[in-house]
A and B are shown apart, each in its own frame.
Chain A
Amino acid sequence: MKSLIDSGPATTVENPVAGIDQTKGDFTYDVAYEFDAGTGLSERTVDYISSVKKEADWIRAFRRQALQVFQSKPMPTHWATRDLENIDFDRIRYYLASGQKPKRTWDEVPEDIKRTFERLGIPEQERKFLAGVEAQFDSEAAYSNIKEIVAKQGVIFVNSTEGLREHPELFRRWFGKVIPTGDNKFSALNSAVFSGGSFIYVPPGVKVAQPLQAYFRINAENFGQFERTLIIADEGSEVTYMEGCTAPKFSTATLHSAVVELVALKGAKIQYITVQNWANNVFNLVTKRGLAHEEAEIKWIDCNIGSRLTMKYPGVVLKGRKARGEVISIALANDGQHQDTGAKMIHAADETTSNVVSKSISVGQGRATYRGQVHIPKRLRGCRNNTECDALLINTNSRTDTYPAITVRGDRNSIQHEASVSKVSEDMIFYMQQRGLTEGQAMSLAVNGFINDLARQFPMEYSVELKRLIDLEMEGSVG
């Protein structure tokens, strides 16, 4: 497997968000943490995490080795934005676990944040957690029945720490196999300091009827900066996983770097849905990849809103004959934000098919970049790829770039690529205003229309929240 860092098309660009107020979206409060690795990253930090988690020797060694890889790899600024250089690794806290409840009260939460929650229709209890008033989202009671139901089917659904402790053989067999430590600088960072995330194993032939949600089991660790998720769908099984929520996350952390690995064994189906809305001071640098065996199917549905810089290219390695991979993604880049997203489809067996549909929206000074990689080697036959990327520009100073890298060798495979850039025209806005919609409402409707065919693929409650969120984003973009 080629590394993400080495394979992207080269480009250097000016930092579009230089000078942005980094404290915006910050949300500080005093919390007494039981475990705190302190700021900065060294072997001590990594050992501290291993000790707190009482990890086995092999994982401690794994972390140490990952740290070395992280330190030896250069920032990928030869193809990615130079804004990455603004990450100050010495000022980041790599591990925090709270033993006590935060002291902040709901009254101390700023009014505009409360209003956002209100508009998004976030349930009361969840609002308190999201605002940092409660360290523990008290959902266990409400949702534990889902865990019980799936447990009866033999499904393992735990956090990664528990997964490592309780199911070491299963975990170790697949861990770091889809995304090796050295895949890229940030996968190495995650491998060194990961905590939180989910571990899921679905036994052969089991079809999990209800989507498993990270949202249901939120606690301080799961909501962390460096979560690690590993999902294994055994032969013929089916599972859908949903993560994130559309409410803005208010955290003091400015770096989020997750690694998500999916393994779909013969004939299995995994669908992974993400809807995230980050505060606009966050670097969101995530590596997500799935390994699809014979006749297996992996589908990523990914929606990225907010953050200062998001770099995320969900991928599928189509390892077995007739495997199928799909990435459906929506990115919205508002003022001062750069959404650098895309997809990777690595065909490694005959008759594998992949489909990529990406829609991006750039608002104001926002910048959306599509980066895609499709690889079909010469020895294969009967492979097919379809790539569509559409960009919508809201203002004249919005920016979009497309870097589709498609390598198809041999003459027994087929690909199809379509790209479009459109703009919300003044005439369209005037037309809608003439029907009584405000400029903001008109913008929202235009954007929602643009993503409509993709939004319909989201589960109902997510697509409703997505619409509300776009309404909020667009409301602030005019005036």
Chain B
Amino acid sequence: MSSLVIHDLHVSIGDKPIVKGLSLTVNSGEVHAIMGPNGTGKSTLAKVIAGHPDYTVTGGDVLLDGRSVLAQEADERARAGLFLAFQYPSEIPGVSIANFLRAAVQARLPEGEEIDATAYYKRLYAKMDLLKIDRKFTSRAVNEGFSGGEKKRCEILQMAMLEPKMAVMDETDSGLDIDALRIVSDGVNALRGPGLGVLMITHYQRLLNHIVPDFVHVMYDGRIVKSGDKSLALDLESRGYDWVKQELAALPA
């Protein structure tokens, strides 16, 4: 049983506060969705959890299984079980997906231990079968010349191979047509289970028709302003984000 606890988190880029006191707990087996208008700090939150060096945490904490990760480099957090599915995954020219994943798996082994290549490929192919990915896919260079859908499938395949405890998925639905969205969602659903906690960040409700969340949170101006179950997402869809803004404005300061 794992947990990702975000406690009263404050984040700035330079002098500009972006996240302003956000708290949230994700446990294994749960799927949480964070929704909110553009520019509200959703993607910042995803990158901060993963340890992107451009952001400064000015207050609060992020804990994985009770231990603060804030002092850790991005790679330490990754090896501890945090995974970020990127909104805009980077291209790595000349490095095949198979070799990249092999390096990532190798990085998780104790020092001096060499990866068992046969076992690795067996596992890789099993995951590809599970996600219905063609065998030829992994000999292509990571994200190089990929369509939006291929990039996201590549993220899901990496997630499947690295078996994180907690996965943060940043706008996984962006840039996908409806067919690609279904394929990627099926992949995430195949990976759902008691060993994995998911924090999905999305602007649109449509993703949540495919990956049905246990909890939905609304993020606005750097904070979570409303939480509920999946019905909250439907309310947002029909009433728009202005509804939340108006509700907030009505509150006493």
Known pairs A448-B94, A453-B94; A433 contacts B103 (CB<8 A): no
> Nearest chain B CB to A301's CB is how many angstroms away?
17
Task: Decide: B92 and A428 in contact? CB cutoff 8 A.
Answer: yes
Task: Decide: A448 and B104 in contact? CB cutoff 8 A.
Answer: no
Stretch from A14-22, A268-276, A439-447 contacting the other chain: A439-447
Q: Which residues of B contact A403 (CB under 8 A)?
A: none
Please tell me if B35 contacts chain A, counting CB pairs below 8 Å. Answer: no
A446-458 to B contact mask, C-beta < 8 Å, 1/0: 1011111100000
Size of the B side of the interface (Cβ < 8 Å), in residues, is 28
Task: Decide: A430 and B52 in contact? CB cutoff 8 A.
Answer: yes
B86-120 to A contact mask, C-beta < 8 Å, 1/0: 10011111110000110110011000000000000
A427, A428, A436, A453: which contacts B108 (Cβ < 8 A)?
A436
B74, B94, B141: which contacts A451 (Cβ < 8 A)?
B94
Q: Which residues of B contact A472 (CB under 8 A)?
A: none
Bound Cα distance A426, B53 (Å):
9
A441, A446, A450, A453: which contacts B107 (Cβ < 8 A)?
A441
> Nearest chain B CB to A321's CB is how many angstroms away?
36
Please tell me if A435 contacts chain B, counting CB pairs below 8 Å. Answer: yes
Task: Decide: A445 and B78 in contact? CB cutoff 8 A.
Answer: no
Q: Which residues of B contact A428 (CB under 8 A)?
A: 90-92
Known pairs A430-B52, A430-B53, A431-B89; A436 contacts B94 (CB<8 A): no
Q: Which residues of A contact B86 (CB under 8 A)?
A: 431, 434
Chain B: CB-nearest residue to A432: B92
Q: Which residues of A contact B51 (CB under 8 A)?
A: 433-434
Q: Which residues of B contact A426 (CB under 8 A)?
A: 53
B178-192 to A contact mask, C-beta < 8 Å, 1/0: 000000000000000
Interface SS of chain A: helix
Chain B: CB-nearest residue to A449: B94
Please tell me if A402 contacts chain B, counting CB pairs below 8 Å. Answer: no
Q: Which residues of B contact A445 (CB under 8 A)?
A: 92, 95, 100, 103
**Which of B89, B90, B95 counts the most A-chain CB atoms under 10 A from its CB?**
B90
Interface range for A: 20 to 34
Please tell me if B176 contacts chain A, counting CB pairs below 8 Å. Answer: no
A-B contact count (CB 8 A): 78
Bound Cα distance A425, B91 (Å):
10
Task: Decide: B94 and A433 in contact? CB cutoff 8 A.
Answer: no
Task: Decide: B75 and A437 in contact? CB cutoff 8 A.
Answer: yes
> Nearest chain B CB to A119's CB is how many angstroms away?
12
> Nearest chain A CB to B76's CB is how many angstroms away?
9
Please tell me if B212 contacts chain A, counting CB pairs below 8 Å. Answer: no
Q: Which residues of A contact B95 (CB under 8 A)?
A: 445-446, 448-449, 452
Known pairs A430-B53, A445-B95, A448-B95; A436 contacts B75 (CB<8 A): yes
Task: Decide: A435 and B100 in contact? CB cutoff 8 A.
Answer: yes
Please tell me if A438 contacts chain B, counting CB pairs below 8 Å. Answer: yes
Bound Cα distance A361, B211 (Å):
44
Task: Decide: B141 and A449 in contact? CB cutoff 8 A.
Answer: yes
Task: Decide: B90 and A441 in contact? CB cutoff 8 A.
Answer: no
Task: Decide: A436 and B92 in contact? CB cutoff 8 A.
Answer: no
Bound Cα distance A422, B141 (Å):
16
Bound Cα distance A422, B158 (Å):
26
Bound Cα distance A453, B103 (Å):
19
Chain A: CB-nearest residue to B105: A436
Q: Which residues of A contact B79 (CB under 8 A)?
A: 436
Task: Decide: A433 and B93 in contact? CB cutoff 8 A.
Answer: no
Chain B: CB-nearest residue to A451: B94
Please tell me if B50 contacts chain A, counting CB pairs below 8 Å. Answer: yes
Bound Cα distance A434, B90 (Å):
11
Please tell me if B84 contacts chain A, counting CB pairs below 8 Å. Answer: yes
Chain A: CB-nearest residue to B50: A434
Please tell me if B73 contacts chain A, counting CB pairs below 8 Å. Answer: yes
Task: Decide: A434 and B141 in contact? CB cutoff 8 A.
Answer: no
Please tell me if B236 contacts chain A, counting CB pairs below 8 Å. Answer: no
> Nearest chain A CB to B94's CB is how many angstroms away?
3
Chain B: CB-nearest residue to A431: B90
Known pairs A441-B107, A445-B103; A433 contacts B78 (CB<8 A): yes
Please tell me if B5 contacts chain A, counting CB pairs below 8 Å. Answer: no
**Which of A425, A435, A445, A453 counts the most B-chain CB atoms under 10 A from its CB?**
A435
Q: Which residues of A contact B94 (CB under 8 A)?
A: 448-453
Bound Cα distance A436, B104 (Å):
6
Q: Which residues of A contact B158 (CB under 8 A)?
A: 435
Bound Cα distance A451, B90 (Å):
18
**13 other contacts beyond A448-B95, A453-B94, with CB at 8 A cut-off?**
A422-B93, A430-B52, A433-B51, A433-B75, A434-B51, A435-B107, A436-B107, A436-B108, A438-B107, A446-B92, A448-B94, A449-B93, A449-B95
Q: Give me the 5 closest cross-chain CB pairs, A-B, nearest first.
A: A449-B94, A449-B95, A452-B94, A431-B90, A433-B74
Q: Can you list 5 contacts pairing A with B, beta carbon distance less than 8 Å?
A: A428-B90, A433-B51, A435-B101, A437-B107, A449-B95
Chain A contacts to B: CB under 8 angstroms? 422, 425-428, 430-439, 441-442, 445-446, 448-453
Chain B contacts to A: CB under 8 angstroms? 50-53, 73-75, 78-79, 83-84, 86, 89-95, 100-101, 103-104, 107-108, 141, 158, 162
